Every structure is written in structure tokens, then in C-alpha cells.
């Protein structure tokens, strides 16, 4: 073929003989060098987009009051926990976005531990904050963690999940939030030294220390044990905010014991009468966590200690209907997809709340009870021509009584 008739690259204009490879298309050609340049440009563009998906500037950072107002839309009550979390999260990301002033003042991060009985909203608070800030967020269950080499998950798997959420963008993951749930389940089993190692209790607590304080951890991107040959990714945990939550069942007895033993004399006896025996969690202190079984080193790395109030009848009633994604709104939307308008009478909602209090299941109990009430309707109504469904107190009482007796 003569040089005049040779095909040329549509981008750089070089002929077939001047390049290593020329790929032909329907309306044009591209040489190997232009293809490599195009690939590099695409990769850089996608990298910038993934960074911007989790980017945060000081101007965009919501103030503590704005964060609390956002939380109020999803979580009922718990004002003390909301204020503490709002301030901690605001200060944490302000610390990350600070400019170097040359004054050698380094602001350290403040991890959080939340104490509250089941169904009070610990997980929901952490998840809602992450939604507001658009940062990578993951929930990890502490009960499955064990020391390296034992059956269970390695502690590094916490960061593996965060990396997966951040689409393996290490820079974004290093600014994320990790919520460690059921932290009370890794408490030291007893104070007595034993021949056998406490691999799922104190051993895990010791393993968590390096993550909480801030160090470079080599993370297996696919989980550690099934893929031992994989290349490890170094992740710096210094800027990752850790929020730990746990029910700490029975810690009220330790708080009561501490409050009672501390008081001596007439003036102290007057103070005892001021103690709210119905909500002892508001008096929680680090020494109570230590007596429960958390080691002092891990308590020191979780400097912000906050509590969640037990849900009273009024709070449970509001949880049913008020939040943006309340239980009643969720089921109403499900029925609306079948062109059915679902409504609950006030008496029906009151009955569901009373049963949730009776079973002591917290907010999670509301969902299971509501599901039990309308399960039969969710089965039959899609096949029937019904436009409206009203759930009354009589229907709720009948369905729940039937389930209990079944």
C-alpha cells in the first residue's frame, strides 16, 4: 500500500506506518498512543468525580444547630445525645479542614461512645449524621470480631467495609465515620486471670486501640482470611471518626451502687433524693464503663461519653407518626403503590404503643407489632379492589391477641 493510501489516526494524523498499532472504527481511526492518552484522561476525570462525591468544604460544613435540626427530622427526643454528636462531628470535620497557621497547635480527634438501651436510636443517629455530611459511613457489629488467628473476623475488617463503601477511594475513606455497634459485648468477661485467652473480649479491645487512636493500618481490600494472597492497602485512621454504641445491660446497678457509696452524711443524704431513679443512665461516668468490663485504655480513646434516654410513652407515640421516615408513613407508601389509602385511628396507635412498652422492645418493637397487625392485609389487598383501609383499635387488639395465643 502506498503512503498516500495509508490510513491515518483521526486524532493525531499520523499514518499507519508511523505508529505501532492503528484501530479502525466506522467513521474514524485511533492509534495506540492516542488510545493510551484517552484512557489516562478518562481515569483522571473519574478519579476527580469520586473525590468530589465525598468532598466537604468549610463553607458547606453545617453548624452544630443545623446538624441537630436535621437529626430532629428523623430522631425523636434524645436532645442531649444529638447536641453532643452535633458538636463532636462539627469539630471533627472543622479539624480536618483547618489551614496550617504555623502555630504548632494540633487538634486531636474526639471519638464518641453512646450508652442506651435497645431501640433508643443509637444506630439511627450515626447513620443520619453521615447522610447529612455525605461522607463514607459503615456500621460494624463488634460481636463478630476476634483476635487475629481465631475464628471470627479480624479487627482490620472494620476498615475493609469502610473502603468498600468509599468505592476503594482511600482518601475518602480516611475521612469517614465508623459506627461500632454492640461495643458492650466485647467487655472483659471477668477480672480473674484465666488460663484461656479472652479472644472475643479483652483481646478485641486491645486490637481496637491502634484503630481508635490513629495509626497506619494495612487493610485487606477483600477481607483477610479467604484471600491471603491479596495486596494490602495502607489506611491512616487518624482522621476517621469512631462512634461506638452499646446497650450495656445492667450498668444501671453499677451507677446506682456508685451513687449510693459516694454519699456520706446529712448534706449528701439530701442529694440522694434529687437522683432520678427512673433514668440512671444520665449519671453515667467512665468508671462505670470500667467496672462493666471495658479496659481503661479504650475508655481513654473514647473521650466523649453520652447517653440516650429510655423511650417513654409519648416518645414512642411520636416515633410512630412524626419522623420523615416514620413507620406509619412507610407502610402507607407501601399500600399507596397498590392504590390503597392506609390510615390508623389514634386509638389503634395508642394500643400499639402500650404493647411496645409492655414487651420492652423500644422503637424496634413498634415495627414488629405494626407488621403483625397489617400482615394479613398486605397478603390479601393486592389481589382485591380496595381503595381505603382503616386500622382501628379493635383490629389491632384482635391481631395481636391472635399472634400471642398462636
On whether the CB atoms of residues 353 and 313 are closer than 8 A, the answer is: yes
User: Are 88 and 37 in the same domain?
Assistant: no
Is 58 among the domain residues? no
Q: How confident is the model at residue 73 (pLDDT cuts 50, 70, 90)?
A: very high
DSSP for 33-62, written as a single string: HHHHHHHHHHHHHHHHHHHHHT---TTTSP
Instruction: Render pLDDT for 2-29 as a digit per residue (tens, 0 to 9).
Output: 556 788 898 898 888 889 888 888 888 9
Cα separation, 21 vs 6, whole angstroms: 13
Output the domain CATH number for residue 162: 3.40.50.300
Give the per-residue pLDDT at 316: 92
Is 377 among the domain residues? yes
On whether the CB atoms of residues 288 and 304 are closer than 8 A, the answer is: no
- The stretch 126-137 carries a mean pLDDT of 85
How many C-beta atoms surround the C-beta of residue 352 within 10 A?
A: 24
User: Are 121 and 265 in the same domain?
Assistant: yes
- Check whether 237 has a pLDDT greater than 60: yes
- Check whether 189 has a pLDDT greater than 70: no
Q: How confident is the model at residue 117 (pLDDT cuts 50, 70, 90)?
A: confident
- The stretch 47-60 carries a mean pLDDT of 63
User: Are 78 and 33 in the same domain?
Assistant: no
- Check whether 41 has a pLDDT greater than 90: no
Mean pLDDT for all residues in the chain: 84
DSSP tag of 309? P
User: Are 300 and 390 in the same domain?
Assistant: no
Instruction: Render pLDDT for 177-186 as a digit per residue (tens, 0 to 9).
Output: 899 999 998 8
Cα separation, 187 vs 205, whole angstroms: 8
Domain that holds residue 45: 3-53
Amino acid at each position: 500500500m502506498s503512503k498516500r493510501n495509508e490510513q491515518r489516526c483521526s486524532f493525531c494524523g499520523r499514518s499507519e506506518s508511523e505508529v505501532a498499532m492503528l484501530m479502525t472504527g466506522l467513521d474514524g481511526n485511533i492509534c495506540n498512543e492516542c488510545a493510551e492518552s484517552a484512557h489516562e484522561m478518562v481515569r483522571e476525570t473519574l478519579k476527580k468525580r469520586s473525590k468530589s462525591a465525598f468532598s466537604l468544604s468549610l463553607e458547606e460544613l453545617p453548624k452544630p444547630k443545623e446538624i441537630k435540626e436535621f437529626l430532629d427530622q428523623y430522631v425523636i427526643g434524645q436532645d442531649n445525645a444529638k447536641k453532643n454528636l452535633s458538636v463532636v462531628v462539627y469539630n471533627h470535620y472543622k479539624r480536618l479542614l483547618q489551614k496550617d497557621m504555623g502555630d504548632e497547635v494540633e487538634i486531636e480527634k474526639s471519638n464518641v461512645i453512646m450508652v442506651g438501651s435497645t431501640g433508643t436510636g443509637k444506630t439511627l443517629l450515626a447513620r443520619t449524621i453521615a447522610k447529612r455530611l455525605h461522607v463514607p459511613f459503615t456500621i460494624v457489629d463488634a460481636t463478630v470480631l476476634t483476635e487475629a488467628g481465631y475464628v471470627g473476623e479480624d479487627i482490620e475488617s472494620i476498615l475493609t467495609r469502610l473502603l468498600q463503601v468509599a468505592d476503594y477511594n482511600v482518601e475518602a475513606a480516611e475521612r469517614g465515620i465508623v459506627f461500632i455497634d454492640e461495643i458492650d459485648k466485647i467487655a472483659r468477661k471477668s477480672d480473674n486471670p484465666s488460663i484461656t485467652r479472652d479472644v472475643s473480649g479483652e483481646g478485641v479491645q486491645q486490637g481496637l486501640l491502634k484503630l481508635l487512636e490513629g495509626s497506619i493500618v494495612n487493610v485487606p481490600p477483600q477481607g483477610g482470611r479467604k484471600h491471603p494472597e491479596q495486596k494490602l492497602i495502607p489506611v491512616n485512621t487518624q482522621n476517621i471518626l469512631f462512634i461506638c454504641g452499646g446497650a450495656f445491660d445492667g450498668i444501671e446497678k453499677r451507677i446506682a451502687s456508685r451513687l449510693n457509696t459516694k454519699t456520706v452524711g446529712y448534706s449528701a443524704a439530701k442529694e440522694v433524693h434529687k437522683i432520678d431513679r427512673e433514668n440512671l443512665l444520665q449519671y453515667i461516668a467512665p468508671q462505670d464503663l470500667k467496672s462493666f468490663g471495658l479496659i481503661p485504655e479504650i475508655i481513654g480513646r473514647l473521650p466523649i461519653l453520652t447517653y440516650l434516654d429510655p423511650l417513654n410513652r409519648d416518645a414512642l407515640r411520636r416515633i410512630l407518626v412524626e419522623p420523615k421516615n416514620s413507620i406509619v408513613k412507610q407502610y402507607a407508601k407501601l399500600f399507596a403503590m397498590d392504590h390503597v389509602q392506609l390510615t390508623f385511628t389514634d386509638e389503634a396507635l395508642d394500643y400499639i404503643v402500650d404493647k411496645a412498652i409492655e414487651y420492652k422492645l423500644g422503637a424496634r418493637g413498634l415495627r414488629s407489632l405494626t407488621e403483625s397487625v397489617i400482615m394479613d392485609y398486605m397478603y390479601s389487598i393486592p389481589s382485591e379492589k380496595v381503595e381505603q383501609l382503616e386500622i382501628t383499635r379493635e383490629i389491632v387488639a384482635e391481631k395481636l391477641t391472635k399472634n400471642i395465643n398462636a
